[in-house]
Amino acid sequence: MKDKHIYNKRIMDNTKAIQYDNLLREYQKLENQLARVPKLSIEDQSKEIMVGVEYDKTNQKKVNFINQKMREASSLMMSLY
């Protein structure tokens, strides 16, 4: 019975490791997508009323979506261990 418990634990640990690796790859893909979203030029950023605006409205929506997916992946990774 003890051997079966150890075997099941190893399977669960291996499954978690695979899930973690998959989530980490997804997170890295999202980071790459985020890096490819065009930022406003320095000139356009300086024209914005709000400080810290780096993207136009369309790209800001993309950035927000990607950031949300990154938070979800990160949360799932942390919940595995």
- For residues 45 and 54, the answer to whether their CB atoms sit within 8 Å is yes
- The whole-model pTM stands at 0.76
19-75, pLDDT tens digit by residue?
A: 999 999 999 999 999 999 999 988 888 877 767 789 999 999 999 999 999 999 999
1-25, pLDDT tens digit by residue?
A: 667 777 777 888 899 999 999 999 9
Indicate the angle between helix axes 57-80 and 2-36, nearest 10 degrees. 170
For residue 43, the model assigns a pLDDT of: 86
Residue 59: phi, psi to the nearest 5? -70, -30
What are the sequence ranges of the domains in the chain?
2-80
- For residues 35 and 70, the answer to whether their CB atoms sit within 8 Å is no
